[in-house]
Every structure is written in C-alpha cells, then in structure tokens.
Amino acid sequence: MSALPTAARRPGPSWPASPAEGRDATGARVEFRSLRRAFGPTVALDGLDLTAEPGELLALLGPSGCGKTTALRVLAGFEQPDSGEVLVDGEDITRIPANRRDAGMVFQSYSLFPHLNARDNVAFGLRVRKVSAAERHAVAADLLDLVGLPDHGGRFPHQMSGGQQQRVALARALALRPRVLLLDEPLSALDAKVRLTLREEIRRLQLSLGITTVFVTHDQEEALSMADRVAVLNAGRLEQCAPPAELYERPATAFVAEFVGTMNRLPGRLTGTGSVEVAGSTLPVDGEAPAGSGPVDVLIRPEGVRAEADPDGTATVVSASFLGSVTRVLLDLGGGVAVKADLPSRDTADLLPGVRARVTPVPRPVLVVPVAPVREPSAGKAEA
C-alpha cells in the first residue's frame, strides 16, 4: 500500500463551490445539546452534551448499545432526536434533511456502486449537483491521488481490495467538500494489517485537510491511536471526553477506568491520611481521597503491578501470556482475588504456572472507588 501524501506534498483537491459557499468548509464546530433519543422503552441517548472542536478527530467509544452509533446517525440526519439540538458552527441543523447538512459519511460497508468505476464513484455526488464533467473528473482524480490510488480511477469495485474500496469511499465522502466527516466503524470489515495501515492514513489525511471528524468505533486501540479526544458513552450518557492519554491515565469514573484498557480491581483500605493500603503497600490516592477510613476497591493498571518469583510470596502464578516485549502474568492473591501484571518478557522466565510470587504495586497514585457488591475472580476490561 502506498502511503498517503502529506499536506506538504499536495495542497488538496480543487473543489467546486459547495452549498456552504462563503463559509470555511473545514474546521467546523459540532455540538450535541441535551440530545435524547428513545426507541420504545430503550433509551439510546439520554441528555447527551458533547462538542467536537474545529478540526479535531473525535472518537465515540463505548459498549454495544451505549448510543454512539445513534449519536452519529442523529448528526448525519438519519435519525431525529426526541429532544435536544445539533449545531454546526452555531447553526441549528436538527431538522435539516441529511442531504443538506454538508456532511460526508463513510460506512463499515464500502457501499460503492458496483457498475461505476472508482473515478465515477468519487464523482457521483458532484454529478448529482450538476457539476461539469471536466470539473468533477478533476476533483475525482485529485482525491484518488490524495488517498493513494492515483492509478485506480478506471477500476471497478470488484477489481479492488477491501482497503482500496474503503479509500474510494473516503474520497467520495470528501468530494462534496463537507464541513464534517462522519466515520461509522469504517475499518471493522478489513483484516488487521490493512486496518492498521488505513487508520494511520485516515489520520494523516484528516490532519492535512483540517476537517472536523466524528468517528465511531468499538476498537479501543483505534480510538486511542487516532483521536484528538475520545468520548466514552455508557447507557446513552457521556462518561468522559478527554485526550487518549488522559482518558487512560486519569479516568473520571470507575466505568471509564474499567472499560478503557485492562484494569485490576483490588481490595484496599483507606488510611484516613490520603493514602490507601493495598497488596501490602501504602499508596497515595489519585485526586481527592474519600473522607475517613475503611474498605475500598483500588484500580491499578497491569503495568502498575510488579511481580517476581519468591518461595515466600503470597501469590501464585496462574498463567503467563507472551505479548511480545511484555508478558501478561495472571496471579492468584487468594480469597478469590486475582491480579494481572504486564512485565518485561525478559524478566518472566521463572514466572511459570504454580510458582509462588511476591506482588507489589508500583509506588504511584491510584484511583479508589466504592467496594463492588460482587467481585469477579479476575479483573479486566469490559467487552466493547
């Protein structure tokens, strides 16, 4: 696969005038204000307030049924909210039909016209708007070049790979110079290697054009690696919206902490001095510590746990999964509590199943939450 040209190599397509003529076609500000959408007794969006800043890539992430796809469809105009507003650059577009919203959309399925070649697929929207043949072919050629397919204009969908078809779909979405680009799990139908390459290229293209992009995905790695900010939804509500590193390192809620990445949930006890005792160590509490003392659950990432073989240790190795540079070791602490530790693979040769081990948390601030009513035998992330 050829890499996408950067903004320095190409100034971008020579677009014809858009319906938004007189306004900047990129960098729009998108706002969801108190959006509510229910399907019978099921509430998909429950008072959602969220903003995509001009020129950013905002990822919507959450478990199945959290409302992320409904939010995207409301923004696209395919669904009408029961209440609330959608604004683009301060303009209320809530009741504007989908075909008048200046939004380009790329779906999970490529949705290319099988009887049209790549050039004509890209130019289809321009043809509907009665742009001259010469102009629309020039725009299509520019966009195919921009997405790394300069020599594929004459190919039909059945003559292209899945990754190539999705690039054509992306070029088609950009052909009408949308103010907002909407991506609905566009990479989920591709194999892993193509998905990795294409997500890097989509990000590079989005940055070069400066177009505000709202991206729905169930893949946490995609969201964390591509987005400027990630909005985590749960049961139709916003749990947290933050840059990827902040979301991972400083989750605002227990749901975000356990949903994003992998998290250990261990029993601890507040000391009443801003610290918590956990796994034989005393650690500072991240943020404002709850008042008083007593039992709590302590949330620690696997990379925040150390383990080493020790015949006098209180933990037992259950399994070790080689992941390349790190090995994830699952250890039984007794009492139905287990912990995962991500350790340098070179240091885990003696951590075999059945071996006794000593476990210590890395000395850094930790997040504490109320004790869970039911404790799972091993902690991990929620399924996306």
Do 149 and 193 lie in one domain? The reply is yes
Answer for the pair 86, 75: CB distance below 8 angstroms, yes or no: yes
Do 228 and 357 lie in one domain? The reply is no
Place of tokens 């307030």: 49
Instruction: Note whether residue 12 is domain-resident.
Output: no
The neighbouring-strand residues paired with 50 are 32
DSSP string covering 191-228? -HHHHHHHHHHHHHHHHHHT-EEEEE-S-HHHHHHH-S
Averages of pLDDT over runs of 10 residues in the chain (384 residues) are 38 48 65 97 97 97 95 96 97 94 88 93 92 92 92 94 92 92 89 88 91 95 96 97 95 92 93 87 83 88 96 96 97 94 96 96 89 53 35
Instruction: Note whether residue 25 is domain-resident.
Output: no
Answer for the pair 316, 276: CB distance below 8 angstroms, yes or no: no
Do 267 and 225 lie in one domain? The reply is no
Q: Are strands 229-234 and 57-61 parallel, antiparallel or unpaired?
A: parallel
- CATH number for the domain spanning 273: value is 2.40.50.100
- CATH number for the domain spanning 84: value is 3.40.50.300
Do 148 and 229 lie in one domain? The reply is yes
Main-chain dihedrals φ then ψ at residue 244, nearest 5 degrees: -55, -45
- Taking CA 291 as the corner, what is the angle to CA 296 and CA 265, rounded to the nearest 5 degrees? 20
Domain that holds residue 276: 262-369
Give kind and range of the element (H or E) at residue 358: strand 356-361
Answer for the pair 18, 25: CB distance below 8 angstroms, yes or no: yes
Strand order in 237-242's β-sheet? 103-106, 180-184, 212-216, 57-61, 229-234, 237-242
Give kind and range of the element (H or E) at residue 341: strand 337-344
Cα distances (angstroms) measured from residue 254 to each of 76, 265, 267, 300: 31, 10, 14, 11
384 vs 65: CA distance, rounded Å: 10
Instruction: Note whether residue 94 is domain-resident.
Output: yes
- Show which of 191, 223, 249 is a domain's final residue: 249
Answer for the pair 186, 166: CB distance below 8 angstroms, yes or no: yes
Q: Is 38 helix (H, G, I), strand (E, B) or coil?
A: strand
Which spans in 116-270 are helix H? 118-128, 133-146, 162-174, 192-209, 220-226, 244-249, 254-259
Instruction: Note whether residue 283 is domain-resident.
Output: yes
Which among 119, 100, 97, 121 is positioned nearest to 110, based on CA atoms? 121
Main-chain dihedrals φ then ψ at residue 313, nearest 5 degrees: -70, 160
Answer for the pair 345, 274: CB distance below 8 angstroms, yes or no: no
Main-chain dihedrals φ then ψ at residue 170, nearest 5 degrees: -65, -45
Instruction: Note whether residue 97 is domain-resident.
Output: yes
Answer for the pair 315, 359: CB distance below 8 angstroms, yes or no: yes
Number of domains in the chain: 2
Query: What pLDDT is attached to residue 14?
Result: 55
Instruction: Note whether residue 8 is domain-resident.
Output: no
Instruction: Note whether residue 2 is domain-resident.
Output: no
The neighbouring-strand residues paired with 305 are 361
Instruction: Note whether residue 24 is domain-resident.
Output: no
Main-chain dihedrals φ then ψ at residue 357, nearest 5 degrees: -145, 155
Answer for the pair 328, 340: CB distance below 8 angstroms, yes or no: yes
350 vs 344: CA distance, rounded Å: 12
Query: What pLDDT is attached to residue 144?
Result: 94
Query: What pLDDT is attached to residue 290?
Result: 76
320 vs 313: CA distance, rounded Å: 17
Burial state string for 251-276 with b = 16 or more CB within 10 A and e = fewer than 16: bbebbbbbbbbebbbbbbbbbeeebb
Answer for the pair 269, 349: CB distance below 8 angstroms, yes or no: no
CB atoms < 10 A from the CB of 72, how many?
A: 21
Answer for the pair 105, 173: CB distance below 8 angstroms, yes or no: yes
